[in-house]
Chains A and B, each alone.
Chain A
Amino acid sequence: MSAAILEVEGISQRFGAFQALKGVNVAFEAGRLSAIIGPNGAGKSTFFDIVSGARAPTEGRVRFLGRDLTGQPQHEFARVGIAKSFQITTIFKQLSVHENVRVAAQMRQARYQLLRERTAMHTVIEAADRLLERVGLSALGRRAAGDLAHGQQRCLEVAMALASDPQLLLMDEPTAGMSPEETGVMMGLISSLAKERTVILVEHKMKLVMGICERLVVLHHGEVLAEGSPHEIRNNAEVRRVYLGRR
């Protein structure tokens, strides 16, 4: 077993009287493509918010490469190498497609530089060009990001998440709202990304992740119901009862 890149220990999250997560313990191995699945309201998004730094848990710890990140601001998570694509498309709509990726790509080099020309940062511009090429948006670089079709915006968001060259890529329902063709393209992209870095997906369409993921974690009512290979999950009686049985 290779070393864990992300470890989550005893994470709980309360929203008033409602407990979204109840002492979740789970570790993810480096270099693998994993998915967190579960019915709506299982706590998947809350879990993702916590491991991406958008929310501090009520209890528990988050460790990335052995380093405790609990309670750190979100930009700190991004700087150590955790990137996230959101469930609801989150891009800079009025900026051009290229600028969206370019501003994400400049993060490692320039955050507070007031007097440098952004057009003179050639490595950043080239990195943005490459990322757009990879997600298939090269031809649309000059368009306003808000004018793209939904599927294209999802791809743009992935390019932005990749721009900081993260070790861990978190993707919250990357195919949400996509057509079957777009979904196919996105799943292909995810498989190719998983060859070069650790990827964790959140999905509630179970069929989609069964084929490509190496490991699944099933959340139910804020607890880990089961974890294991797709084969093990498919044959798990508990999972079949709460999840698959309904389909």
Chain B
Amino acid sequence: MNRQFHRLRVPAVLAFLTLFPLVMPYQALAVNILIFGLYAVGFNLLFGYTGMLSFGHAAFFGIGGYLTGIAMLDFAVPWPLAILAGVLCAMLGGGVIGFLAIRTRGIYFSMVTLALGQIVYYGFYKAEGWTGGENGLRGITVAPLHLLGIPIDFLNPLTKYYVILIFVGIALWFVSRVLNSPFGAVMEAIRENEKRAAACGYDVVRTKLLVFVLSAGLCGLAGALRALHLSIVPIDSLHYLQSGQAVMMCLLGGMGTFFGPFVGAAVYLLLEDTLTNLTSHWMGAVGIIFMLCVIFFPKGIWGSVLDWIEGWVVRSPWHPR
């Protein structure tokens, strides 16, 4: 895909997301897609662009949510600052887990992140006084806010969607900038060939750690926004199934593409929403659809769409040869 296209991708995605809730069956689902889309985008930075498959990213999603909630409930921090606290703590967690896991590669990296993610899960599970343990962290309420004289009521689902979209939009802009930057080029170089990247003079370990921390921060932001959205942080946020979801969403939508993880999140959640009404075995149905997608669209849904568009552009008569 050419660079002009890259410059337009953030405005295009934001325009789409602005209209998105109007075509969704209900707003809460749209908010969910927004949040999980961001979660998958954050994960994709590490997995799709740097080639590191983490099975522990629920840790950052959960830390972001819990710390935002704890900041608001126990320290009466206003919610925008509480989000910041959640993101910073997720990045800190990312620094620690990343530092430990980056020494390993491939399947060992995946297993170490999985194990460390589980440690975080049990830590939060046991710290009942702070986290509510099994019941999750409850009672997070967003005080009505007046922004430039305009009252912002978080109880209105559509208002909530657009407030969350502001955060997601800033995050997507940031991700797009990083991907277009020289650093983004180094990330891809490391994914393609670590040996060559090191021989080119790039510090592979330090670059990986920095990506890990950024990825953790983005997933933490998704978790923080979810805490505000649900008014509760369920302990499941930290569960390894939540980590697996990020992997599925990325593969479904198309790893290593900017918008793919968002598409993956939307498809996954829409499937879940539709199928839970039909059968209690919806997981099985999602699993089958997931397998079919991986077999027939190995580049993911969005990855395949991009391929078609590119093929069409190249074949078109006005394409320079």
A148-181 contact mask (Cβ, 8 Å, vs B): 1 or 0: 0000000000001101100000000000000000
Among residues of B, the one whose C-beta sits closest to the C-beta of A115 is B177
Q: Are B182 and A113 in contact (CB under 8 A)?
A: yes
Given that A78-B201, A90-B199, A160-B200 are contacting pairs, would A119 and B3 also be in contact in the complex, using a CB cutoff of 8 Å?
Answer: yes
Q: Are A92 and B182 in contact (CB under 8 A)?
A: no
- A111–B177 alpha-carbon span in the complex (Å): 15
Which secondary structure dominates where chain A touches chain B? loop
Say which one of B18-26, B32-40, B186-194, B260-268 lies at the interface with A. B186-194
Asked if B178 is at the interface of the complex by the 8 Å CB criterion, the answer is yes
- A75–B210 alpha-carbon span in the complex (Å): 17
Q: Are B180 and A119 in contact (CB under 8 A)?
A: yes
Among residues of A, the one whose C-beta sits closest to the C-beta of B3 is A119
Nearest CB in chain B: distance from A139 CB, A: 12
Partner of A95 from B182, B188, B202, B207 at Cβ < 8 Å: B188
Asked if B181 is at the interface of the complex by the 8 Å CB criterion, the answer is yes
Contacts of A83 in B (CB 8 A): 199
Q: Are A112 and B183 in contact (CB under 8 A)?
A: yes
Q: Are A75 and B203 in contact (CB under 8 A)?
A: yes
Q: Are B203 and A106 in contact (CB under 8 A)?
A: no
Q: Are A121 and B196 in contact (CB under 8 A)?
A: no
Asked if A203 is at the interface of the complex by the 8 Å CB criterion, the answer is no
- A111–B188 alpha-carbon span in the complex (Å): 13
- A103–B192 alpha-carbon span in the complex (Å): 12
- A207–B184 alpha-carbon span in the complex (Å): 44
Asked if B185 is at the interface of the complex by the 8 Å CB criterion, the answer is yes
Contacts of A106 in B (CB 8 A): 182, 185
A56-87 contact mask (Cβ, 8 Å, vs B): 1 or 0: 00000000000000000111001100011010
- A92–B188 alpha-carbon span in the complex (Å): 8
- A74–B182 alpha-carbon span in the complex (Å): 20
Asked if A102 is at the interface of the complex by the 8 Å CB criterion, the answer is yes
Q: Are B196 and A163 in contact (CB under 8 A)?
A: no
Asked if A206 is at the interface of the complex by the 8 Å CB criterion, the answer is no
B86-100 contact mask (Cβ, 8 Å, vs A): 1 or 0: 000000000000000
Contacts of A54 in B (CB 8 A): 195, 198-199
Asked if B204 is at the interface of the complex by the 8 Å CB criterion, the answer is yes
Which secondary structure dominates where chain B touches chain A? helix
Asked if A1 is at the interface of the complex by the 8 Å CB criterion, the answer is no
- A107–B64 alpha-carbon span in the complex (Å): 34
- A91–B196 alpha-carbon span in the complex (Å): 6
Q: Are A94 and B192 in contact (CB under 8 A)?
A: yes
Partner of B199 from A78, A114, A117 at Cβ < 8 Å: A78
Partner of B200 from A93, A107, A116, A118 at Cβ < 8 Å: A107
Contacts of A212 in B (CB 8 A): none
Asked if A7 is at the interface of the complex by the 8 Å CB criterion, the answer is no
Q: Are B198 and A73 in contact (CB under 8 A)?
A: yes
Partner of B178 from A84, A86, A92, A114 at Cβ < 8 Å: A114
Contacts of B177 in A (CB 8 A): 114-115
Asked if A237 is at the interface of the complex by the 8 Å CB criterion, the answer is no
Given that A95-B189, A99-B185, A102-B185 are contacting pairs, would A118 and B180 also be in contact in the complex, using a CB cutoff of 8 Å?
Answer: yes
Of B177, B185, B189, B207, chain A has the most CB atoms within 10 Å of the CB of B185
Of B181, B198, B200, B207, chain A has the most CB atoms within 10 Å of the CB of B200
List which B139-190 residues lie within 8 A (CB) of chain A.
Answer: 177-178, 180-186, 188-189
Contacts of A92 in B (CB 8 A): 188-189, 192-193, 196
Nearest CB in chain A: distance from B88 CB, A: 17
- A164–B184 alpha-carbon span in the complex (Å): 18
Partner of B201 from A79, A113, A119, A121 at Cβ < 8 Å: A79
Nearest CB in chain B: distance from A187 CB, A: 22
Nearest CB in chain B: distance from A171 CB, A: 12
Asked if A30 is at the interface of the complex by the 8 Å CB criterion, the answer is no
Nearest CB in chain B: distance from A51 CB, A: 12
Nearest CB in chain B: distance from A62 CB, A: 16
Q: Are B195 and A78 in contact (CB under 8 A)?
A: no
Report which B residues bind A (CB closer than 8 A): 3, 177-178, 180-186, 188-189, 192-193, 195-196, 198-204, 207, 210
6 smallest CB-CB distances across A and B, nearest first, come from A78-B201, A110-B182, A92-B192, A107-B201, A74-B198, A103-B185
Excluding A73-B198, A86-B199, 16 further A-B contacts by CB distance (< 8 Å) are A75-B200, A75-B204, A90-B193, A91-B193, A92-B189, A94-B192, A103-B182, A110-B181, A110-B182, A112-B210, A113-B183, A114-B183, A115-B181, A116-B182, A164-B200, A164-B201
Report which A residues bind B (CB closer than 8 A): 52, 54, 73-75, 78-79, 83-84, 86, 90-95, 99, 102-104, 106-119, 121, 160-161, 163-164
20 contacts between A and B (CB under 8 A): A73-B198, A74-B198, A75-B198, A75-B201, A75-B203, A75-B204, A86-B199, A92-B192, A93-B193, A94-B192, A95-B188, A110-B181, A111-B202, A112-B207, A116-B181, A117-B181, A118-B182, A119-B3, A119-B180, A160-B196
